[in-house]
Structure 1
Amino acid sequence: MRSSLSRRLLQLALLPAFVFALIMVAYFALTTVERANLNFQAQVDTLTTSTLPAMESGLLYFDEEYLRRTSQVLLNAPFVRAAKVLDAAGNPIVEQGAQLSLPLLSGPPGEVHRLIQDTWIRVEIPIRATVLRHQLPEGYPDLLGWLVVDYSINDVQLENYRLITLGAVVAVAGLVLIWLLALRLIRPIVQPFHQTIDTLRAIKDGHYSERVALETSGELRRLGEGVNAMADSLQHAQRDMQQSVDQATQDLHQTLEALEIQNIQLGNARRQAQEASEAKTQFLANMSHEIRTPLNGVLGFARLLAKTDLDTRQKDYLQTIQRSSESLLTIINDILDFLKLESGKLELEQRPMHLRDVIEDVMDLLGPLAQDKDLELVTLVYEDVPLRAFGDPLRLRQVLTNLVGNAIKFTTAGHVAVRLMLEQATEQTMHLRFSVSDTGPGMSREQQNRLFSAFSQADASTSRRFGGTGLGLVICQRLIEQMHGHIGVESVQGEGSTFWFTLDLDIDHQAIAAQPADTLLAGSHVLVLEPHELSRTVLGHRLEQWGMVVHDLTVLSDEQALSASEQRPRLAILTCDAQHPDRLRRAAQQCQRHGIPIVLLTRHNEIRAELNDIAPLVDVHSAKPIRYSRLYAICTELLGRALPELNTETPPANNQPRILVVDDNATNRKLLTALLGDYGITPSEAEDGAQAMACISQQSFDLVFMDIQMPVMDGITATKEIRRHERPDEHLPVIALTAHALPEEEERLRHSGFDDYITKPIDEAQLLNAVFQWTGVELVPLTAPPTLDAGPAVGSAPSMSVSTATDKTVRAAKSPDESGPVDITLALRRAGNKPDLARDMFQGLLEQIQADRTELAQLHADKARSALLDRVHALHGLTRYCGVPVLEQAVRELEVNLKNTQCSEVPAALNRVLEAMAEVEWWSTHRDWQPFFASS
């Protein structure tokens, strides 16, 4: 800044002087040079013309010597280089000085000629007879000769250069003088600016006490005063700001201290909340197990009670107990699923599945519920949908069950339809849309907005008609989102609702390629009587897919249908019609007269007395909704065709599944063998994972029940080995047998390769459900128990009932020993109401107690925690089947504490186990317990 200002002022001072000096030097140089040239020319002319009279006389008299002397006079001049005298013809007479061999210059004769070069000038002057003309004869020419003189101009040029240099020096000296004078004059002007700039820079750096010295006057003084005033204002503002900053800093320190204290409190609260959440999850998981155990007992004994003779009021009470128990079980399952989804511990599987089978499983399960409300359940699977895909069938089935269940619950009349359609497909994946439509009351926009919120329902009033926790749709939404899909609802109040969700699934091309074409029924004529329009459309579409020719008895008379084609119908599919029973009866009689096989489709709640006159005419009786594969098998069998191997997930129902039971506890194996034996199944047995692998390598199985903790090879390792040796086109279902159903353990089991798990104690209904779900076989007891009606319909869901206990067993269950360390009622129930099995398991427990009492204490003293955990786990599995609730609870707590390596409650828990074992031993030695387990 300083150099810039000084430079500008100097430029303003020197630039005019420099321009003026330059002009003056130029003018002076030009004038001097011009004057010098004129002087030189005048000298040349004077000198030349002065010798012409002498030259005239010399030439007239041809006096060469005279001419020479005259030429020498010219050479004596300082700037003459050479002189030459020529005759009139141009021939040289006298030559003096530097001789130039140049011809005469061309030009008009008799005139002066000049030639100017860089360093010399040649002048050619004619010599005429002027002075002595009168002495010449008449007619003598005037031109006597030529005088040629060469003049040097070096001296003239040097003089010009000297003059120009002198002018330049004078100009430079003047400029220097002006520059020095300008510096002297600029300093008083620049110095206040520099001081002002330094002051402003100091103020900028925070030195607000700096001031400009006011030593000048005029504008510079006013500038300094303005800068000083600004510095005063900034100093006051800085002082105020510093005070504010100090106050704010103090307040901030106090706030930070408060925040730090609050963060510590929040951290403690968060840690406590996490611990509480984990404890809540653990508690709910444990409570679910503890609640399910008595609840399964309630359901089991309710089913047993249903098989006895009851009056109408008792039946009504019993149905209320069953419905309430099932609702409670559903609520428990929903809460556990919601907890797993909230904690992010729910993992999805990717395994082969048949989409139609998944939907039909849901329809089979909920069919009786819909039929109780006189609703029609319909499944529409579009033809272009690839039915073989990879996904999680269990979770997909859970979503559909919830949506269909809600539709049934809120619909009072009409139908519920499940549709599956293909929206988009690539070579490897497909985009599917599932929808569940009903003819219920519909919902308003406000109700729709509340649907997918936890613990919220469309009708949130205290007087709402329908129950539930409000978790079902939230669980569905979370499951669909975890499958990377979308879920939504479309509803118009008064016109029904449609819940839909979309999924992207990988196509199982290998399974689709292996599926045979449905060509065995092509060309066969079939009569169809279905009063419900949508169900009739779906049934006709199914039959037409197989190439059959359908004749609709709903719009045609019997005779018209029988004569509609040249080929007589070979099969009739009739549905019970409560509105027009006579039409059904006439159609059945017409078919019987013409020898047409009849398939009768009924609801589970149809009154059997109304069908007594039709039953003898029916060839096959099946419940609605009928499965796709079941209908195909019936049609093929009745038409006398060879039934091909159906490429579905379920094997034929007439083949018993091959089951392998793997458990190191002989009592547990004995219980499973006994339960399955009632249904005609003799399972293979293995004591550990290594024996199980050997059995699987020697023969094929349809299902494996696998214990977790076993010697030699545990269940997790064995399952991983099974999965590692499986071929891509094979999958052996493996179900874990575990005493705990905690979320983290469930996810660990599924991640290890298990398909499902069953919690101990094993309930008979739970066992039958697992066999049906993973093999598709409906287990039927060898001796059918008495029922309230004529028995379940063909093709219905498997019965969940258990064997009826004998009178002696019931009397034993009512013994007064239930409050002691042994509960006979519980022992019988967990043994499947088999007294002999219950007695053997209790005897095995007593032997195990005698062997373990001293060994458990010794293992704890030796700090052999792993060996102690194995023995406690084996004892825990045994206590769950022997009706010893106090010992069972104590052993369970000890096992949980042993699994928690940081737990310090092991000694106290072990003492409680030893005390409970002593109480059981004392009870067995002081009571005659054998009659309690006497079989009939």
Structure 2
Amino acid sequence: MINLGIKGRILLLALIPVTGIALVLSTYFIHSQLQSLDYALNNHGQALARHLAIASEYAVFSGNREILEALAKQALSEDAVVTIIITDKRGVTLLNFRNRLAETDIDERQKIRIFSQPIIQQIITNLDEDEAFYTEEDSTNPIQETLGWVAVKLSLDTLQTEKNESIFNSLLITLLGIILSLLLAIRLGRGLTRPLLKLHCAAEEIQRGNLDVHIKRESKGEMRTLEEGFQSMATALRKSRKNLQQQIGRATAGLHESIQTVEQQNTELKQARQKALAASEAKSVFLANMSHELRTPLNGILGFTRLIQKTHLTSEQQDYIETIEKSADNLLHLLNDILDISKIEAGKLTLQKSFCNLSSTIDDALSLLAPAAQDKGIELISLFYQDVPETLFTAADRIRQIMLNLIGNAIKFSSAGFIVIRTMLEEETNERVLIRISVTDQGIGISAENQKKLFHNFEQLDNSMARQYKGVGLGLAISRSLAELLGGEIGVDSREGDGATFWFTIRCHKLQHKQGEQTPMPQFSGYSVGIYDPNETSSLSLMHILKASGLKVYPHQHPETLFRQIASDTKIDIVIMATSLDSQDTEILQSLLSKRRHKTDFSIILLVNSVDPVTLLFVRQQYECLCIPKPLRKQEIISALESLLAPHSPQQTAEISTGSNAIDSLSGYKLLVVEDNAINAKLVAHILTQVGASVSLVENGQEAIDSYRHTSFDAILMDMHMPVMNGIQAAQWIRSQEANDAHIPIIGLTASLLDTDRENYFQAGIDAMLVKPADNGHLITLIRKLCAQPEFSQRVCAKTPPSVDADTDTPSPIKTSLTSMLIKEIPDVRAKMQTASAVGDWQQLQEISHKFFGGLGYCDAKKLRAAAGRLHRCLISEEYSTITDTLADVFMEMDRLLASHKNDRA
């Protein structure tokens, strides 16, 4: 809508009604006048025709043409009359007179109107007075006879002229009225807009800050009231500004004082921050030193544990040593998490994912905590549901850490009963699964109010619990962060006095083929097992394992039903009995042994809630039965069943003897190894050829491309830092040349793997990353996985755990050979490092140290590798101020290694 001012609105207000009324009235009067003119013309034409009809009665009757012409000439004397036509009753024209003056115009326009009247003869009949049928009506209504017709044609020009004059006059009067109204509206609008314009000018002055505005009050009525109000407003604004300026002055003075106070506080805060940073740095140094001090004895424990494992041990000793090793290994992981709590809070903790067996991971956690649970008389029960895939791509060490925290807390806050660990499948897609793992105890429970305090750093329910149960309240906080990093969440369901269920979820990739799923074992086909376990949950856990293996299972919660089944004709090959070794269980066991002596076609396996080797040995010797400690491990159950059901089966013997080799075999695989470091190349080639692979060696990315063009490989193992063309460039070229259905797995090898590097490698098309030194078994398994499942790529990244000594995987002969190669390379590497350091070429020094550091992982030079690792990390983090000292340490270790090698040769 058009934005009009007051003047325009006044004009519209004045003109619209007046114009509307004028147009309506003009239209009405014009219409009425035009109708009157038409009516007058029609009356005149009818009257003229009627007059001629009456006058020409005698002439038509008598046939006197002269009288008719005289009448016609008299009628044609009028300008409007154009033609007069007289006909007899048969339609024969007696007279046709035209107005010669109007004839031309009539022919051109043909604007005429015709009026006609009949010529009637009046006949009066004379009747005798004695006529019988004479009536009064006959005397007043004479007989009429039509003699002919008179037609008069009148021109419409005169009528049209009169109409035009009428329209013109009406419109002229209307226009004059509108103009007069417009003039009056303009005059009235000026009277209103002039004072408003003055007010507008005054408002602009006030807007510019001039509040000393004076308005002349010349108007009357409401406009004068408006002017007075505006003047009062300007006066009020002037007073308000004055007061505001005074307040601003006072506020400015107060603000100045506040600013001085804030500046003083900022100075104090800055000093406090510097102190806090110094304290944090001191804490970091302390933690680093403590890390070194703690790792040293733990590494010693791990080292001597591995040495003990190489000696001749009984099965109990072997199990005990394995438990020690796992405990020390997990202690190292826990130490890493405690030292890296700041990384967790900053969101910088990353996961090292790989293929893992989820069932074995859970069993490992249960085995580690079994002694603590059994000391309190608590039984650990694992329910691994059959629809859960066993082989997953996730961080097994972090899952184990969460499990240790949750199960450890459950044991801590329980005094008896049992703890159930359930592993369930929540969601499943074509590529990913959501797994839910819960830990349910029968402990003291947690109130709703206290549940809100969980999962926060250093938070415990109350101080009394901290004294009673010990701990610092860090485990659940770490578990929460790890669960979120694993793509899930963590929570608790509990009521005070009614136990608690801690649960967490993980979201991870699964294998597309059926390799990870539980499948029946053909060697168990046709065998049946009877179970006696009063604990229904424990019995259900064992049933899951046995049914998944293809066995027929008969569970019993009461010994009477078991004995009846044994006495019946039902075939039972093995009886598995859970016992607590109390008097009641001992009686049941004696009865079972007695029945076995009478019916020797079944074996007995005892499940004992103890991992004490002495107790287990006593049970085996006392009852001459296989004895398996709780918590149950799937592999132990399967091994025990195999030893009883098929102890001499050639097929089983072959499977047992070759199973491991079959898993690790790469027979028939054609692999390309791209490595510029001769030591690394020789070691990787040795590892792969030992398991049957055919290996081709090249030294850089360009040679890898040339080999790829001419030869077909099953997989490519490629170093990332190489001369001529690095691993990223080579991988990008290979991916650009691949067909849609021809994907070759590429495994990257690097001595260091930062988060930023990881993304660059994956974007280049590398399927998996391994950090040197890589675990031999993991390398072989990864090659088989990627070759069998190429679509499961683009996010595989793993490295040897810090607690595992990768050197133990390298056979002694090849390690000696690699060390000899290293001795030959040291002088050249040292010279290159000295040159790069002297000119400050840190990039070149980083390339040299990276290549050198990667090769040291497979040689007998741990101290030199540690020093080279420190140098490499300094170069990556650009800590150039410490490079000189670190480089000196590397050179010192080089000299020691050379001197040691020289003495050995002497």
The two structures share one fold, judged by TM-score above 0.5: yes
Question: Is 1:555 matched with 2:550?
Answer: no
Q: Give the 3 Å change call, closer, same or farther, for CA 80–215 of structure 1 in structure 2.
A: closer
Name 2:501's counterpart in structure 1. 498
Question: Is 1:192 matched with 2:191?
Answer: yes
Question: Is 1:571 matched with 2:574?
Answer: yes
Name 2:7's counterpart in structure 1. 2
Q: Give the 3 Å change call, closer, same or farther, for CA 77–276 of structure 1 in structure 2.
A: same
SS at match of 1:405: helix
CA distance in 1 between partners of 2:65 and 2:45 (Å) = 29
Equivalent position to 1:904, from 881, 887, 897: 881
Equivalent position to 2:416, from 400, 413, 416: 413
Report which stretch shifted further, 740-749 or 583-592: 740-749
SS at match of 1:435: strand
Whether contact under 8 Å (2:383, 2:421) holds in the other structure is: yes
SS at match of 1:500: strand
CA distance in 2 between partners of 1:555 and 1:242 (Å) = 102
Q: Give the 3 Å change call, closer, same or farther, for CA 531–741 of structure 1 in structure 2.
A: farther
Whether contact under 8 Å (1:444, 1:491) holds in the other structure is: yes
CA distance in 2 between partners of 1:688 and 1:505 (Å) = 33
Question: Is 1:630 matched with 2:629?
Answer: no
TM-superposed CA distance for 1:407, in Å, is 1.7
Whether contact under 8 Å (1:516, 1:647) holds in the other structure is: no
Which one-letter code corresponds to 2:693 in the other structure? Q
Report the TM-score, using the length of structure 1 for normalisation: 0.60
CA distance in 2 between partners of 1:333 and 1:87 (Å) = 136
SS at match of 1:904: helix
TM-superposed CA distance for 1:331, in Å, is 4.5
Q: Could you list the runs of 5+ residues in structure 1 that have no partner in the other structure?
A: 101-116, 129-142, 308-320, 670-684, 701-705, 761-766, 776-799, 803-829, 931-936
CA distance in 2 between partners of 1:37 and 1:839 (Å) = 140
CA distance in 2 between partners of 1:853 and 1:40 (Å) = 137
CA distance in 2 between partners of 1:862 and 1:621 (Å) = 70
User: Could you give the per-residue CA deviations for residues 632-663 of structure 1, whole angstroms, max 9, x where no partner exists?
Assistant: 23213312374978999999689998999x9x
Equivalent position to 1:437, from 437, 440, 443: 440
Whether contact under 8 Å (1:71, 1:83) holds in the other structure is: no
Equivalent position to 1:293, from 291, 295, 318: 295
Q: Give the 3 Å change call, closer, same or farther, for CA 257–630 of structure 1 in structure 2.
A: same
Equivalent position to 2:362, from 359, 371, 388: 359
Which one-letter code corresponds to 1:904 in the other structure? S
Whether contact under 8 Å (2:530, 2:562) holds in the other structure is: no
SS at match of 1:442: coil
Q: Give the 3 Å change call, closer, same or farther, for CA 687–278 of structure 1 in structure 2.
A: farther
TM-superposed CA distance for 1:555, in Å, is 1.6
Which one-letter code corresponds to 1:698 in the other structure? A
User: Could you give the per-residue CA deviations for residues 337-357 of structure 1, whole angstroms, max 9, x where no partner exists?
Assistant: 644444444455675544433
Whether contact under 8 Å (2:773, 2:858) holds in the other structure is: no
Which one-letter code corresponds to 2:559 in the other structure? V
Question: Is 1:369 matched with 2:369?
Answer: no
Q: Give the 3 Å change call, closer, same or farther, for CA 916–202 of structure 1 in structure 2.
A: same
Name 2:470's counterpart in structure 1. 467
Whether contact under 8 Å (1:831, 1:881) holds in the other structure is: no
- Written as runs of structure 1 = structure 2, the 5 A alignment for 1:888-927 is 893-901=870-878, 903-911=880-888
CA distance in 1 between partners of 2:281 and 2:298 (Å) = 25
- Written as runs of structure 1 = structure 2, the 5 A alignment for 1:87-98 is none
Name 2:645's counterpart in structure 1. 639
SS at match of 2:363: helix
SS at match of 1:905: helix
TM-superposed CA distance for 1:452, in Å, is 1.4
Name 2:223's counterpart in structure 1. 223
Query: Bigger radius of gyration, 1 or 2?
Result: 1
Whether contact under 8 Å (1:574, 1:601) holds in the other structure is: yes
CA distance in 2 between partners of 1:573 and 1:85 (Å) = 141
TM-superposed CA distance for 1:500, in Å, is 1.9
- Written as runs of structure 1 = structure 2, the 5 A alignment for 1:589-608 is 591=596, 594-595=599-600, 596-606=602-612, 608=614
Q: Give the 3 Å change call, closer, same or farther, for CA 99–185 of structure 1 in structure 2.
A: closer
Report which stretch shifted further, 431-440 or 842-851: 842-851
TM-superposed CA distance for 1:290, in Å, is 1.9
Name 2:705's counterpart in structure 1. none
CA distance in 2 between partners of 1:95 and 1:557 (Å) = 145
Whether contact under 8 Å (1:379, 1:418) holds in the other structure is: yes
Name 1:535's counterpart in structure 2. 538
CA distance in 2 between partners of 1:224 and 1:388 (Å) = 93
TM-superposed CA distance for 1:615, in Å, is 1.0
Whether contact under 8 Å (2:85, 2:93) holds in the other structure is: yes
User: Could you give the per-residue CA deviations for residues 212-262 of structure 1, whole angstroms, max 9, x where no partner exists?
Assistant: 76556x53xx41342353255157538856996999899799999999999
Whether contact under 8 Å (2:750, 2:854) holds in the other structure is: no
CA distance in 1 between partners of 2:95 and 2:663 (Å) = 155
Whether contact under 8 Å (1:354, 1:387) holds in the other structure is: yes
Q: How many residues align?
A: 782
Cα RMSD (Å) of the superposition?
A: 7.5
Name 1:332's counterpart in structure 2. 335
TM-superposed CA distance for 1:415, in Å, is 1.3
Which one-letter code corresponds to 1:456 in the other structure? E
Report the TM-score, using the length of structure 2 for normalisation: 0.61
CA distance in 2 between partners of 1:175 and 1:889 (Å) = 111
Q: Give the 3 Å change call, closer, same or farther, for CA 299–880 of structure 1 in structure 2.
A: farther
SS at match of 1:634: helix
CA distance in 2 between partners of 1:191 and 1:618 (Å) = 125
Question: Is 1:403 matched with 2:398?
Answer: no
CA distance in 1 between partners of 2:437 and 2:490 (Å) = 9
Q: More helix per residue: 1 or 2?
A: 2
Whether contact under 8 Å (2:116, 2:149) holds in the other structure is: no
Question: Is 1:860 matched with 2:837?
Answer: yes
SS at match of 1:465: helix
TM-superposed CA distance for 1:630, in Å, is 2.6
Q: Give the 3 Å change call, closer, same or farther, for CA 879–399 of structure 1 in structure 2.
A: closer
SS at match of 2:490: strand
Whether contact under 8 Å (1:455, 1:470) holds in the other structure is: yes
SS at match of 1:454: coil
Name 2:624's counterpart in structure 1. 618
CA distance in 2 between partners of 1:611 and 1:285 (Å) = 44
- Written as runs of structure 1 = structure 2, the 5 A alignment for 1:128-277 is 158=158, 165=165, 169=169, 188-199=187-198, 201-202=200-201, 215=218, 219=221, 222-230=222-230, 232-234=232-234, 236-237=236-237, 240=240
Whether contact under 8 Å (1:736, 1:757) holds in the other structure is: yes
User: Could you give the per-residue CA deviations for residues 53-97 of structure 1, whole angstroms, max 9, x where no partner exists?
Assistant: xx99x999x999997998899699777989999999999999897
Q: Give the 3 Å change call, closer, same or farther, for CA 500–210 of structure 1 in structure 2.
A: same
Whether contact under 8 Å (1:74, 1:80) holds in the other structure is: no
- Written as runs of structure 1 = structure 2, the 5 A alignment for 1:11-22 is none
Name 2:313's counterpart in structure 1. none
Q: Name the % identity.
A: 19
Name 2:319's counterpart in structure 1. none
Which one-letter code corresponds to 1:591 in the other structure? R
Question: Is 1:698 matched with 2:693?
Answer: yes
CA distance in 1 between partners of 2:326 and 2:49 (Å) = 150
CA distance in 1 between partners of 2:512 and 2:465 (Å) = 52
Whether contact under 8 Å (1:75, 1:97) holds in the other structure is: no
CA distance in 1 between partners of 2:777 and 2:94 (Å) = 154
Name 1:672's counterpart in structure 2. none
Q: Could you list the runs of 5+ residues in structure 2 that have no partner in the other structure?
A: 1-5, 101-111, 124-143, 310-323, 668-672, 696-716, 784-802
TM-superposed CA distance for 1:192, in Å, is 0.9
CA distance in 1 between partners of 2:454 and 2:500 (Å) = 12
